[in-house]
Amino acid sequence: MAARAALPKVCIALGLPTTEKLIDQAEKELAAGEHFLEFRLDYLNRPEQGVKAIQQFLAKHPEATVLATCRRHQNHGKYDGLIEDQLKILDAAIDAGAKAIDVEIETAEKVIDKVEHLRAKTQLIVSWHNYEGTPPLEPVLRRMLKVPADAYKVVTTAKKPSDSGKVLALQKAHPRVPLILLAMGETGFPTRVLCNALGGVYTYASPNAVEGTAPGQVSSRVLRNLYRIDKLSKSAKIYGVIADPVRHSLSPNVHNRAFQARRLDAVYLPFLVKSTQLKDFIQLCDSLPVQGFSVTIPHKQRILKYLDHVDLLARRIGAVNTVWKKAGKWRGTNTDAPAVTKPLSKKIKLNKSKVLIAGNGGAARGAAFALADAGAQIAIVGRNPDRVRALAKICGAEPLLREQMNGRRFDALVHATPMGMWPHVNECFFPDQVPADLVFDMVYNPLETELVRRAKAQGATIIPGLEMFLTQAAQQFEIWTEDKAPISVMEKAALEALGK
């Protein structure tokens, strides 16, 4: 068999009910610069009509590469016909110009000879899907390799973080086997970004304008522009944020842009890690070159027990938001705390100031310790007397309840509750007077909160939450890379992600 042209690196899966819609969507993807398109013939109301669609589309757009798939419903597709008819459709799709076909292993192994006949005419991808989880994959690959093919596609469902590592490990164990590796679902997102860098044949993206065909897919624009999948090498360093939920985090935007600006072979991923999955995530870090990560809700406290070294301030606060690997050991610190004192100390002398902290959660606690260390006189106000008192006691602050606020004024207010945060944009911790002339609101979405609006109306000076976010992110970047953080690039990325 003659050597075959390499397939493009990003495939857009198109599953639509009519040929008109399919062609229309395919043309939109071409216009967006995507040339490798999977036509899911089994998604069409009449799959056999897909052959004509391929012919028409390629006659007009010969530069496109079409992958034809007509997966049977028994094997997680939508095609209702017999294997014989499935193969007939795929054969006709090849004659219509498809450069590759995807045949699921359940069909391929039943009719190896016939499938081999198709392979003589085009590239054959043999695929295996598991929608329930990620079982041991070596037996799966052994089974698949019995069918000669140009590439083997292994698709699982990620239920826990280490499932991504398990899937990607297959490429490491079989560097000479052409593989396409994916773990579906939000937890499996890292596989979509890392598949190509680790040697995979290509990765899948959803169309730029409509829903994709598998859970967890992201658009090619995001994969290429934000995660720079075309630029990452096999030895790219991996960073990320662990959170639940993680989808709305600004950190991937901010850190990936910073890596790009400094031309680093590194990527920053959103890792969905549920509260019970921290140990499993640490296992993932051992199977992939994870060099560091940001930690946010709900892991800031629990992460401590997995770290080899935690600095004194983070230990006193009892929360870590930044982790990195040094000499094979995991180290942790808290960059949220200095991100409170740094912007405040540009405006007031902390050791001569009275600062009110609203809230008694993790962020308030970090602020309280950092401000106490800087010599500020602190008061803490919250809604739960016991919790307010408990925090006030350990950092030498005055405990206050909201109803005790009448007539009290402070040099600065640090607001550390989620009140006013999207979608609760009309909420405000201080319904009447804002009790300070310098107001630091940790909430950054929206950029201008109800508290900020009221404080401005009173003539107060504002430190926006975004400044804290960027200050802590910049410090993380500098810890991880030992390079200066490109602050203006990071700010632009954050504003862009917030739609500004």
Position with the least CB separation from ligand NAP? 361
| 443 near ligand NAP (CB under 6 A) | yes
Q: How far is the CB of 166 from ligand NAP (least distance, A)?
A: 32
| 246 near ligand NAP (CB under 6 A) | no
SS (H, E, C) the chain: CCCCCCCCCEEEEECCCCHHHHHHHHHHHHHCCCCEEEEEHHHCCCHHHHHHHHHHHHHHCCCCEEEEECCEHHHCCCECCCHHHHHHHHHHHHHCCCCEEEEEHHHHCCCHHHHHHHHCCCEEEEEEECCCCCCCCHHHHHHHCCCCCCEEEEEEECCCCHHHHHHHHHHHHCCCCCEEEEEECHHHHHHHHHCCCCCCCCEEEECCCCCCCCCCCCEHHHHHHHCCCCCCCCCCEEEEEEECCCCCCCHHHHHHHHHHHCCCCEEEEEEECCCCCHHHHHHHHHHCCEEEEEECCCCCCHHHHHCCEECHHHHHHCCCCEEEEECCEEEEECCCCHHHHHHHHCCCCHHHCEEEEECCCHHHHHHHHHHHHCCCEEEEEECCHHHHHHHHHHCCCEEEEHHHCCCCCECEEEECCCCCCCCCCCCCCCCCCCCECEEEECCCCCCCCHHHHHHHHCCCEEECHHHHHHHHHHHHHHHHHCCCCCHHHHHHHHHHHCCC
Q: How far is the CB of 159 from ligand NAP (least distance, A)?
A: 26
Nearer to ligand NAP, 118 or 340 (CB): 340
Stretch in the footprint of ligand NAP (CB under 6 A) among 14-22, 35-43, 139-147, 462-470: 462-470
Nearer to ligand NAP, 212 or 418 (CB): 418
Which tokens in the block code for residue 448?
């201008």
Which x/- pattern, by CB under 6 A, does the window 263-302 give for ligand NAP?
A: ----------------------------------x-----
| 247 near ligand NAP (CB under 6 A) | no
Nearer to ligand NAP, 187 or 472 (CB): 472
Distances (CA, A) of 337 to 114, 363, 409, 441: 65, 8, 23, 14
Nearer to ligand NAP, 154 or 468 (CB): 468
Q: How far is the CB of 173 from ligand NAP (least distance, A)?
A: 40
Q: How far is the CB of 365 from ligand NAP (least distance, A)?
A: 7
| Total chain residues near ligand NAP (CB under 6 A) | 24
| 417 near ligand NAP (CB under 6 A) | yes
Q: How far is the CB of 443 from ligand NAP (least distance, A)?
A: 5
Residue of 114, 237, 300, 342 marked active site: 300
Stretch in the footprint of ligand NAP (CB under 6 A) among 257-265, 392-400, 412-420, 485-493: 412-420
Nearer to ligand NAP, 41 or 243 (CB): 243
Of 158, 76, 143, nearest in space to 105 by CA: 143
Nearer to ligand NAP, 230 or 496 (CB): 496
| 317 near ligand NAP (CB under 6 A) | no
Residue 300 annotated to the active site: yes
Which tokens in the block code for residue 41?
């013939």
Rg (CA), the chain: 27
Nearer to ligand NAP, 122 or 335 (CB): 335
Q: How far is the CB of 250 from ligand NAP (least distance, A)?
A: 9
Nearer to ligand NAP, 338 or 465 (CB): 465
| 333 near ligand NAP (CB under 6 A) | no
| 212 near ligand NAP (CB under 6 A) | no
| 167 near ligand NAP (CB under 6 A) | no
Q: Pick from 21, 418, 425, 437: which binds ligand NAP (CB under 6 A)?
A: 418
Of 341-380, which residues contact ligand NAP (CB under 6 A)?
A: 359-364
Q: Pick from 178, 216, 465, 486: which binds ligand NAP (CB under 6 A)?
A: 465
Q: How far is the CB of 243 from ligand NAP (least distance, A)?
A: 11
**Catalytic machinery residues:** 300
List residues near ligand NAP by CB under 6 A.
297, 336, 359-364, 382-384, 387, 416-419, 421, 442-444, 465, 468-469, 472
